[in-house]
Structure 1
Amino acid sequence: MSLDKDKAVALLNQIMELELAGVIRYTHYALMVYGYNRIPIVEWLNKQAEEGLLHARKAGEMVTLLGGHPSFAIGPLLETHLHDTNTACSIPISNILQESLSNEDESLKLYYQLLELAQGKSVLVEEYARSQIVAEEMHTDVVKKMLRQPCEAGK
């Protein structure tokens, strides 16, 4: 049994596109934050954009490693505008984080599909997928903790 390189490359290109869209999304979010908590939140969002670029590069490297051509596209940039209310004085950070979670879920699905495709066929692709799943699940956990209220701790 050997890895279906065409399917792997297609998944990796989808991952790269989604990660690049995340770079734009997190950069946009960072520009939309106002208020006295702006500095640490913007710093965190910018860090997520940088991490997304690193993930996109890794996916692109895997594409070329498998003999494929990296996509020149960017994933969907659909905006819910939940964080862009014209009537409010401040943007609810929880809305930005909820948007972030839904995008993280999409990338996790792709990484899991890649893992399933590679299992028992390519240790290299398997390990790549596993390491990215760990990173994405850790990130998702951080966002979920940011969304929890202090009174919810331990529940």
Structure 2
Amino acid sequence: MANQFAIDVTRIREQARKHMTEGPVTKTYDADRARIVEVLNDVVATEVVCFLRYSQNAIAATGIDRAQVAAEFREHAGEEMQHALRAAERISQLGDQPDFDPGSLVTRSHTEYVTAEERDLQKMLRENLVAERIVITTYQEIIRWIGDGDPTTRRLMESILEEEEEHADDLNDLLAG
């Protein structure tokens, strides 16, 4: 049995006590923490911009399908804000501060803050679908980049990605309807 698994629990306990003020990040953390925080702050910015766009669209929506589309926009807005807060919490766990600076949100965001002229529901749906596709692509790239270096952040991004894919599917259904 060449490659048997073994753990030196005594050494691990000693290291845990010695470095307990470092919080959840241990010596086995294998990622560039500063770069992970920077990327997560961009995720925070992206999610806040998406929250703002969906919220504005939900209020501005008019027309025969307004109630259904506005309800979907409000639901997505709430989920986007939860994504931002989850990413911000991870930044805090990594020993840093999340960046919610309104002055830099748009420049750090992967998506744009686009509002539809004349309250055009179809344009709102299309612009939000484009934004979701941008987020899906960039989050997939982030997940691949993180790899095994930070499994907790990777899982966080994977769970957010799953919800973003659901948003894109919802928007695509509304556009087809």
TM-score w.r.t. the length of structure 1 is 0.81
**1:100 deviation in Å?**
0.5
1:37 equivalent in structure 2: 65
Q: What runs of 5+ residues in structure 1 fail to find an aligned partner?
A: 86-90, 150-155
**1:19 deviation in Å?**
0.6
Check whether the contact 2:51–2:80 (CA below 8 A) recurs between aligned residues: yes
**1:28 deviation in Å?**
0.7
Moved over 6 A (4+): none
Matched, 1:25 2:56: no
Match of 1:129 among 124, 139, 157: 157
Match of 1:84 among 102, 117, 136: 117
Matches of 1:130 and 1:97, distance apart in 2: 24
Q: Point out which structure has higher relative CO (alpha carbons under 8 A, 6+ apart).
A: 1
Deviations 1:46-98 (A, max 9, x none): 1111111101100101111111210123432543x5x213xxxxx33120011
Matches of 1:46 and 1:109, distance apart in 2: 23
Aligned-pair RMSD on alpha carbons? Answer: 1.9
- For these two proteins, the number of residue pairs brought into alignment is 142
Matches of 2:59 and 2:33, distance apart in 1: 39
Match of 2:134 among 106, 118, 124: 106
Check whether the contact 1:15–1:110 (CA below 8 A) recurs between aligned residues: no
Structure whose CA Rg is larger:
2
Letter in 1 for 2:94: L
Matches of 2:137 and 2:41, distance apart in 1: 14
Matched, 1:46 2:74: yes
**1:108 deviation in Å?**
2.2
**1:8 deviation in Å?**
0.9
Matched, 1:118 2:151: no
TM-score w.r.t. the length of structure 2 is 0.72
